[in-house]
Amino acid sequence: MIIVMSPEASEGQIEAVAKRVKEYGCDTNISRGTERTIIGAIGDERRIDQELIDAMPGVEQSMHIVKPYKIVAREWHKENSVIDIKGVPLGGNTIQIIGGPCSVETQQQMDDAARFVKEAGCRLMRGGAFKPRTSPYAFQGKGVEGLEIFRKAADAQGLPIVTELMDVRMLDTFLEWGVDVIQIGTRNMQNFDLLKEVGRTNTPVILKRGMSATISEWLMAAEYIAAGGNHNIIFCERGVRSFETYYRNMLDVTAIPVLKKETHLPVIVDPSHAGGKAWMVPALSRAAIAAGADGLLVEMHPKPCEAWCDADQALNPEELKNLMGELGGIARILGRTI
């Protein structure tokens, strides 16, 4: 059972409800979000007198949630949640396209990329400073220096930044550099210790789908973050492993309406790591938006053929601009904006 406290509930009221739940013999998980606190009752919920709980001061509603994921479930929160990223809304009527290179390389490359991202009309920028590479001999990212380069380039254009966190030991550094959105990559979707730690922050998190994860595993991974008190979670479908070798991953378009049904949180799509080739990106992007995605995470490099990482799948600046125009048309049909 979850007990949703009203946004105005005082600390004393929260404590009183948690104490009452414990008196019924249940354990509690108190998830203190920026907007509201949600108390989870763990154990034999049948012992709880729900009417009594509902009458307690500060309680907005209490509900039995059938699904194993609770806070992220649409069951208790019918409306779409809109995540505020430094004033940029994600999950509302406006579709957000997050553009930028696979990895941070040089100040010049990032300055150019930020300018092109902004010119194309995107409001958020991506770029990896820490790269999860299959080979230990491949470029591993610029590390902390990359965060500095990224911050400088994006700030000059007023763009909030999205970047991947792989190691819990770097979390404080990410917070110090004011990373606006922490990306959890496909390889870390079930790194539960990492999820718990980002759950203790308020920084929005993009949770990519594990390359072989079921939708329910993915929702449970998000619940780890939410249970810690961070309710600012964005799901990102990036394709799953399949028998097909023609493309990098199989974009699971079906997952988009399924997730939109199961969770109130925003769902975005990464067409770049799905197709693995730049020429596939427009088609996959159109499909994603048409299927109800709230945004895209797209790789764009000022000079794709010179990219240090994922050169084949990077759009050039012109292609990103054209894509934005095309998607605007689809958004209009859907009654949304870009």
Contact characters 83-112, Mn ion, x per CB under 5 A: -------------------x----------
Sequence-ordered list of residues with C-beta below 8 angstroms from that of 117, at least 6 positions apart, any chain: 99, 100, 125, 157, 159, 300, 320
Which does residue 185 touch among Mn ion, ligand PEP, none (CB within 5 to 8 A, set by kind)?
Answer: ligand PEP
Measured distance CA(25)–CA(236) in Å, rounded: 38
Smaller CB distance to ligand PEP: residue 10 or 139? 139
Measured distance CA(99)–CA(299) in Å, rounded: 6
Provide the greatest CA pair distance for the chain. 65
The answer to whether 39 and 18 are in contact (CB under 8 A) is yes
In the complex, minimum distance from the CB of residue 196 to ligand PEP, in angstroms, rounded to a whole number: 19
If one asks whether residue 142 binds ligand PEP (CB under 6 A), the answer comes out as no
Residues 13-72 that bind ligand PEP (CB under 6 A): none
In the complex, minimum distance from the CB of residue 89 to ligand PEP, in angstroms, rounded to a whole number: 22
3-state helix, strand, coil in the chain (%, to 5): 40, 20, 40
If one asks whether residue 278 binds Mn ion (CB under 5 A), the answer comes out as no
Residues 231-250 that bind ligand PEP (CB under 6 A): 238
The answer to whether 206 and 181 are in contact (CB under 8 A) is yes
- In 3D space, the residue among 56, 61, 92 whose CA is nearest the CA of residue 76 turns out to be 61
If one asks whether residue 128 binds ligand PEP (CB under 6 A), the answer comes out as yes
Residues 70-99 that bind ligand PEP (CB under 6 A): none
In the complex, minimum distance from the CB of residue 273 to Mn ion, in angstroms, rounded to a whole number: 6
If one asks whether residue 297 binds Mn ion (CB under 5 A), the answer comes out as no
Smaller CB distance to ligand PEP: residue 151 or 208? 208
Smaller CB distance to ligand PEP: residue 40 or 128? 128
The residue within the footprint of ligand PEP, chosen from 208, 260, 264, 301 (CB under 6 A), is 208
Q: Which helix (H) or strand (E) holds 41?
A: strand 37-42
Measured distance CA(56)–CA(59) in Å, rounded: 6
In the complex, minimum distance from the CB of residue 150 to Mn ion, in angstroms, rounded to a whole number: 15
Residues 143-202 that bind ligand PEP (CB under 6 A): 164, 185-186
Nearest position to ligand PEP, beta carbon = 185
Smaller CB distance to ligand PEP: residue 185 or 199? 185
Measured distance CA(291)–CA(289) in Å, rounded: 5
In the complex, minimum distance from the CB of residue 102 to Mn ion, in angstroms, rounded to a whole number: 3
- In 3D space, the residue among 220, 227, 176, 177 whose CA is nearest the CA of residue 198 turns out to be 227
Contact characters 303-332, Mn ion, x per CB under 5 A: -------x----------------------
Nearest position to Mn ion, beta carbon = 102
If one asks whether residue 273 binds ligand PEP (CB under 6 A), the answer comes out as yes
If one asks whether residue 260 binds ligand PEP (CB under 6 A), the answer comes out as no
**Burial (CB count within 10 angstroms: exposed 0-12, middle 13-18, buried 19+), residue 49:** exposed
CB-side neighbour CA atoms (13 Å) of 243: 0
* Counts for the chain of helices (H) and strands (E), in that order: 11, 14
Smaller CB distance to Mn ion: residue 87 or 135? 135
In the complex, minimum distance from the CB of residue 17 to Mn ion, in angstroms, rounded to a whole number: 45
Structure tokens at 68: 């194993």
In the complex, minimum distance from the CB of residue 102 to ligand PEP, in angstroms, rounded to a whole number: 5
The answer to whether 301 and 311 are in contact (CB under 8 A) is yes
Per CB under 6 A, residues contacting ligand PEP are 102, 128, 132, 164, 185-186, 208, 238, 270, 273
Per CB under 5 A, residues contacting Mn ion are 102, 310
